[in-house]
Structure 1
Amino acid sequence: MLCIAFFMAFNLVQNPVSTKNTGEMKLQLSNVNVNNKGVIYIAIYNKKQDFMTRNFFKSTKVEVGEDSSIELVFDAIPYRFYAVTAYHDINANQQMDFNENGMPIEDYAMSGTPNQMGPPNWEQVKFEFKDETQVINLNF
């Protein structure tokens, strides 16, 4: 009996129980207007108070080519709530442009279901990231 207990304890030390708490986040960008070329800027937020600021969790950019669908993969993302924003910078000024009424004149996409008649908020676009591999769709 003592040998069995020793063997089990030794096995647990050699092979600890894995409690994975990160996953792979795949962003699927679709309906990108390839005629505009330019760059798409993507920001991932992990805090409500940082949403729509420059205090993002992760960010990247991708050149628009000839494919209207783009996939980006982020590894080792901790499980929690996030919001993702993206905009298509067609004039290379590295910011989203608006008309005089405050409406965007460059294409954009977000996670969740943002309000189309006003600025998005955290509650509308957040999602729970909790899977080993999770796909987030961003439709321009």
Structure 2
Amino acid sequence: MKPVLLRLSLLLLLMSCGSAFAQNLYVNLQGIKNDTGKIRVGLYSNKEKFRKEAYALKVIEVPAKAGTVQVEFTDLQPGWYAIMAYHDEDANGRLNLLLGMYPTEGYGLSNNPSVFGPPTFEDSAFKMEDQNLSINIETRY
């Protein structure tokens, strides 16, 4: 019976240590032009699924507010992440595109890369370490 209790105790200890390293990410979306609609912020950890909101690690939706909007992702483990956010002015739950390629609503990416064509995970990737992190994203219209 002792080996079973020892294994269980060790497992519980390892599980509690993993959560001790969980951190928070604060995302400041700057340059929101009006209070219309929603702000949607997707957090990605997989480069193949970047920008595919249905596959985001987490998505936060908040009411739009002109100026800067802050959202918080909690309990993140250390690793590489990327953010894609957009101002869903018509609140239809997706980023509207002209000709299927050009955003017609404000959007922003972590690292604020200048991109031509679809942005990649690598363009926007940042590393979460063992401390809370705050990043600023410029909203482009």
Q: Tell me the TM-score normalized by structure 1.
A: 0.78
In the TM superposition, residue 95 of structure 1 has moved relative to its aligned partner by 1.0
| CA distance in 1: counterparts of 2:96 and 2:72, whole angstroms | 27
In structure 2, the residue matched to 1:40 is 39
Question: 1:11-30 counterparts in 2 under 5 A?
Answer: 20-30=20-30
In the TM superposition, residue 136 of structure 1 has moved relative to its aligned partner by 1.5
| CA distance in 1: counterparts of 2:84 and 2:132, whole angstroms | 19
| CA distance in 2: counterparts of 1:18 and 1:91, whole angstroms | 40
Q: Which has the higher helix share?
A: 2
Q: Which moved more, 1:37-46 or 1:109-118?
A: 109-118
Poorly superposed stretches of 4+, deviation over 3 Å: 17-20
In the TM superposition, residue 21 of structure 1 has moved relative to its aligned partner by 2.1
In structure 1, the residue matched to 2:13 is none
What amino acid maps onto 2:125 in structure 1?
K
| 1:76 is the counterpart of 2:83 | no
| 1:60 is the counterpart of 2:60 | yes
| Partner SS, residue 55 of structure 2 | coil
Matched pairs, number: 124
In the TM superposition, residue 19 of structure 1 has moved relative to its aligned partner by 9.0
| CA distance in 2: counterparts of 1:127 and 1:138, whole angstroms | 12
Work out whether residues 28 and 71 of structure 1, in 8 Å CA contact, stay in contact via their aligned partners in 2.
yes
In the TM superposition, residue 130 of structure 1 has moved relative to its aligned partner by 0.7
Work out whether residues 114 and 121 of structure 1, in 8 Å CA contact, stay in contact via their aligned partners in 2.
no
In structure 2, the residue matched to 1:8 is none
| CA distance in 1: counterparts of 2:130 and 2:32, whole angstroms | 26
| CA distance in 2: counterparts of 1:18 and 1:52, whole angstroms | 28
Question: 1:81-92 counterparts in 2 under 5 A?
Answer: 81-92=80-91
In the TM superposition, residue 91 of structure 1 has moved relative to its aligned partner by 1.4
Q: Identity of counterpart residues, as a percentage? A: 25
RMSD between aligned residues: 2.4
Q: Tell me the TM-score normalized by structure 2.
A: 0.78
The structure number with the bigger radius of gyration is 1
**Residue segments in structure 2 that go unaligned for 5+ positions in a row:** 1-16
